[in-house]
Structure formats: C-alpha cells, structure tokens
Amino acid sequence: MRLSARLLALCLPLFSLPVLGETVDDLYQVREPVTSQQPEERGAALNRALETLVLRLTGDAKAVQSPALEGVRQDPQQLVSQYVYEGDSLVADFDPLTTENKLRQAGLPMWGANRPAILTWWLNSGVEGATLIGDGQEAAAPLRQAAQHRGLPLRLPLADLQEQLVATPENLAASQPDALQPASERYGADALLAVQAREEGGQWQAEWRLWLGDSREQGKAQGADQQALADAVLLAVSERLAPRFVVKPGAAGALTLEVQGADLARYAELERLLEPFAARLQRVKGDQLVWQVNASAEQLRAQLGLAGLQEVPADAAPLDAGAEPQATPAPAPANVMRFRW
C-alpha cells in the first residue's frame, strides 16, 4: 500500500485529538518602540529587533554576540523582508529561511515555532485588594504584547467569579498547582504560570511559578510599569523553557522514532511537532508510525511531551501491531525510541 493511502487509513474525527502545543504564527515579526522615523533611529530599532529575535529563537541572551553574526549585527536589514511604522513602533518582519540559515551557520541552537501553550494566572495586588487579569480585559493587553515580544503562546482565564475565588494569593504561591488545575483544564494548555504582581514605591515587582509536566520553575521580576514587568516575567519564562526544546548543533543524532496509537489527526500533530528535527516518515503499519529524526533523546522527550505521548521502556515489546508477543522482549536498539498515546 502506498504511504499516502496508509495515512488515509488512519482517518478519525479531528476533534478526537486534544490540542497541545501551539504554533507561534508571528514568531519572526518583531515590534520595537521608536521616537522618530529618522535613519539613525530606524537602525537602532532594527538592531534591537535582531537581538529580540535571536533571543526568541535560541533562548540565549548572549547568542546575538556570536562572532559568526558580526555581519548581521552590522546590517540586520539583510534579514528583514519588510518593515513598517505603526504608531510609535517599528514593526520588522524577518525572513524565516534566511534567518534560520544564518543561525545554523553560526552553530547556534534553535527553538521551533511549536511551543508550549501557557495558561497564565496573573494577580495584581494593591491596597484595594487583588485583581485576576482575564481574557478580554483591558489589563490583559500588556501581557499579550509581552507574550508576542518573547515568542510565547499565552492563554488567559476568563476570570469569572469561580476563577476569581480560586486565584487567591495563597493558591498562586503554593508549591504545587493543585488548586489551580481543575479550573485550568478547560483551557487545554501545556503549562501553568502563576504570577503575583504588586506595585511598591513606583516600581512593579512579581513572583512567578511555572509548571510544565512534572517540573517547576520559579523566580522574581521587576519593571518600571506593568508592561515592563510582563515582559520581564515572560522573558524569564522563555529562558527557562528554551533549553528543553532547542535543537543544538552537534548534540543531535539520527534516531528512529516509533509511535503507536496514531490516527490522521495525530499524524498531523506529530508532523508539526517533529518539524524542527528534519523528520522523515519511514512507514505506517496499522496505527503505528515510524519516523527518522535528527534529535537528542532529551529534545525528543520534551517535544513529544507537548502531545501527551508516553515513552515505552526500552525492554518492552516492540510497538508492532502485527508482531507476535515475545516471552522475553528484546531491548530496543540504542538509536530507537518508542512512544504511545
């Protein structure tokens, strides 16, 4: 059977697959403030935009200083497909292919456009009490702008009465998100971010906690206003997440990936998740897909975790729908990783 026909045989209703992970559509568009449209100001804004973009794609604030990017730093416009002025901002669209080629030539790790969707419980505290920022509120604008600036898929709760009762300072400061999880399930996010922000002496400060799978990150941030604070928090979150997903040149190798429990929708999800790893579909047998990828085991585990796949132990039976059960399953070869839904 031809490969395309085998894929059609996987077809099931698309809504059977939960939406996990999210593609950042405007990953290569950067918005930077300007005070004028003079050439000097434009040049400075394009340099800042380049720094922002390289940090988005690598998760490393020092990456833009790579000697291999010296020519690009001198003339960032060579990577720009177009730029326009919108209000007091310059909006630059970088060419994805040219930019990626430059970063690869410089030997820099890269984070693909598919990233964990982050449900953010953001609580602003003041003398009049605490306010949960919800989707659609005017106060959500700084958070959305910061998320776009840092290349992160952001989701916000509706902040209805029930959620306001859940989003207490005590629950947001807890070491585990047990109180937040039931209210978060409706949003289908990959990660939870709990932020407590407050203004003190004209300066905004925040404590944040991030949960992704079984791991937790936390930190503090500050900013001159709410926009700066939101940017500082999401920058910190981006820098903590990126090392899990970046593809490091030289650290990756050829791996065979076997996945069981696939249908057409899951095939499409896998194709999107594996795009950063130069994935090539080798064969389809029943509900099993076999891919050839260029990745490290750690990168593959982190990326497939976005789709809720579970790794099969190396000594488990092969994921072959037509194989006869073995009394003593042979361990998987070192270059084979197996997952199932």
For the segment 153-192, what is each residue's pLDDT rounded down to a tens digit?
999 999 999 999 999 999 999 999 999 999 999 999 999 9
Backbone angles phi, psi at 132, to 5 degrees: -85, 125
Residue 220 has a pLDDT of 98
Quick check: 250 pLDDT over 70? no
* Highest averaged pLDDT of the listed ranges 25-39, 280-294, 317-331: 25-39
Which two structure tokens, joined as six digits, stand for 208? 């944040």
Q: Other CB atoms closer than 10 Å to residue 293's CB: what's the count?
A: 20
Contact criterion met (CB below 8 Å) for 219 and 235: no
**If DSSP codes are grouped into helix, strand and coil, which group holds residue 317?**
coil
The answer to which of 51-65, 199-213, 251-265 has the lowest mean pLDDT is 251-265
Which two structure tokens, joined as six digits, stand for 142? 């700084």
Q: How confident is the model at residue 253 (pLDDT cuts 50, 70, 90)?
A: confident
Which CATH topology does 114-243 take? Answer: Double Stranded RNA Binding Domain (3.30.160)
Amino acid letter, residue 57: L
User: Tell me: the pLDDT tens digits for 119-145?
Assistant: 999 999 987 889 999 999 999 999 999
Quick check: 319 pLDDT over 60? no
User: Tell me: the pLDDT tens digits for 35-59?
Assistant: 999 999 999 999 999 999 999 999 9
- Checking phi first, is residue 151 left (phi over 0); if not, alpha (psi -120 to 50) or beta? left
Tokens 């898929």 sit on residue: 153
Tokens 């029943």 sit on residue: 286
Q: How confident is the model at residue 9 (pLDDT cuts 50, 70, 90)?
A: very low
Contact criterion met (CB below 8 Å) for 240 and 210: yes
CA distance 319 to 258: 7
CA distance 27 to 53: 8
CA distance 126 to 293: 51
Q: How confident is the model at residue 306 (pLDDT cuts 50, 70, 90)?
A: confident
Quick check: 117 pLDDT over 60? yes
CA distance 121 to 107: 37
User: Tell me: the pLDDT tens digits for 72-81?
Assistant: 999 999 999 9
Alpha helices (H) along the chain: 3-8, 39-58, 70-74, 96-105, 141-150, 161-166, 169-172, 181-184, 226-245, 264-273, 297-305
Higher-confidence residue of 120 and 8: namely 120
| Nearest residue to 219 (alpha-carbon basis) of 227, 229, 209, 228 | 209
Higher-confidence residue of 269 and 64: namely 64
What's this model's pTM, rounded to 2 decimal places? Answer: 0.78
- Say what percent of the chain tops pLDDT 70: 87
Residue 270 has a pLDDT of 87
Where exactly are the structural domains of the chain?
A: 3-21+249-340, 28-105, 114-243
